[in-house]
C-alpha cells in the first residue's frame, strides 16, 4: 500500500488501525522519516494496494479486510471467540510465573480443535501465546464462572487440560494447586 503526503510517498508494510469518530487513524512506519507516525485516513489523497495495483477507495474497510484475512486477524478471532477458555488456561499454565513450551503447545492444540474460523496451525498459536498477558485472578474467576455454563463434556475437557498443564511441571512451586482447585470446584459438578 502506498500513500502520498506533502513529504512524498510512504510505503506501508506494518500498520495499526484505530478509529477516532468517523475517521480512521493509520499508525504506520514512514520509511522516509524512519519512524512510526499516525496518519488521518481522510488526509491521505491516494492509496494503492501494492499487490493488485488497484486504487483503494475505502482505506479503513481495506485495512480491516486485510487484517481479517491475515494470520494475526485469525489469531484475534480465535482469542476473541474463546477468551474465557484462554483466560482460564493461561492463568493455570502461568500459575508458577512461566508458560513453558509444552504448556503453550497443549493450549494451542486445544484451541485448534475448537476454532472453526480459519486455518491456524498449533505452532503459530503456541508462538503467539508467549505474548498473551496473564489474566488477573478476578478475570480468571469470571471466566471460570462463565465456563461453568458450558456443556459437561467441554467442561470435563477443560479440567483435563488444566491438569495436563500442571503435570508439565516437575514440581508445583507456584499457585498451581490453588488454581486447579478453583477450576475443578467451578467446572465439575
Task: Please state, in angstroms and rounded to a whole number, the distance separating the CA atoms of residues 116 and 77.
Answer: 10
Q: Which three cell numbers stand for residue 116?
A: 472453526
The domain locations on the chain are: 2-69, 71-187
Q: How confident is the model at residue 2, as a pLDDT?
A: 42
Task: Please state, in angstroms and rounded to a whole number, the distance separating the CA atoms of residues 177 and 180.
Answer: 5
Q: Which three cell numbers stand for residue 113?
A: 480443535
Instruction: Label residue 6 by pLDDT band (50, 70, 90).
Output: low
Q: How confident is the model at residue 13, as a pLDDT?
A: 60
- If we measure between CA atoms, which residue out of 73, 58, 16, 7 comes closest to residue 34? 7
Q: Which three cell numbers stand for residue 146?
A: 462463565
Mean pLDDT of 1-22: 59
Asked if 148 contacts 187 with a C-beta cutoff of 8 angstroms, the reply is: yes
Indicate whether 30 pLDDT > 50. Answer: yes
Q: How confident is the model at residue 141, as a pLDDT?
A: 93
**Higher pLDDT, residue 13 or 184:** 184
**Highest mean pLDDT range out of 56-70, 106-120, 169-183?**
106-120
Instruction: Label residue 15 by pLDDT band (50, 70, 90).
Output: low
Q: How confident is the model at residue 1, as a pLDDT?
A: 43
| Structure confidence by residue, pLDDT tens digits, 113-165 | 998 877 899 999 999 998 899 899 999 999 999 999 999 999 999 999 999 99
Q: Where are the alpha helices (DSSP H) in 6-151?
A: 59-69, 71-81, 83-93, 101-114, 122-129, 137-147
Instruction: Label residue 178 by pLDDT band (50, 70, 90).
Output: confident
Indicate whether 59 pLDDT > 90. Answer: no
Is the pTM higher than 0.75?
Answer: no
- Give 167's contacts (C-beta < 8 A, 6+ positions apart): none
**Higher pLDDT, residue 35 or 80:** 80
**Bridge partners of 55?**
48
Q: What angle do CA 180, 181, 182 make, to 5 degrees?
A: 90
- If we measure between CA atoms, which residue out of 20, 16, 40 comes closest to residue 28? 16
| Structure confidence by residue, pLDDT tens digits, 64-118 | 788 788 888 899 899 999 999 999 999 999 888 888 999 999 999 999 999 887 7
Amino acid at each position: 500500500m502506498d500513500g502520498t503526503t506533502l513529504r512524498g510517498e510512504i510505503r506501508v508494510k506494518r500498520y495499526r488501525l484505530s478509529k477516532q469518530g468517523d475517521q480512521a487513524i493509520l499508525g504506520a512506519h514512514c520509511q522516509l522519516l524512519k519512524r512510526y507516525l499516525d496518519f488521518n485516513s481522510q488526509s491521505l489523497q491516494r492509496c494503492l494496494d501494492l499487490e493488485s495495483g488497484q486504487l483503494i477507495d475505502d482505506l479503513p474497510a481495506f485495512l480491516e479486510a486485510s487484517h481479517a484475512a491475515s494470520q494475526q486477524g485469525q489469531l484475534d478471532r480465535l482469542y476473541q471467540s474463546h477468551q474465557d477458555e484462554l483466560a482460564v488456561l493461561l492463568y493455570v499454565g502461568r500459575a508458577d510465573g512461566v508458560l513453558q513450551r509444552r504448556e503453550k503447545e497443549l493450549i494451542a492444540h486445544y484451541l485448534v480443535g475448537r476454532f472453526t474460523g480459519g486455518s491456524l496451525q498449533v505452532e503459530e498459536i503456541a508462538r503467539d501465546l508467549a505474548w498473551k498477558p496473564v489474566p488477573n485472578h478476578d478475570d480468571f474467576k469470571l471466566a471460570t464462572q462463565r465456563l461453568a455454563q458450558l456443556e459437561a463434556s467441554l467442561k470435563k475437557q477443560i479440567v483435563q487440560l488444566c491438569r495436563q498443564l500442571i503435570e508439565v511441571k516437575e514440581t508445583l512451586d507456584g499457585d498451581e494447586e490453588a488454581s486447579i482447585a478453583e477450576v475443578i470446584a467451578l467446572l465439575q459438578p
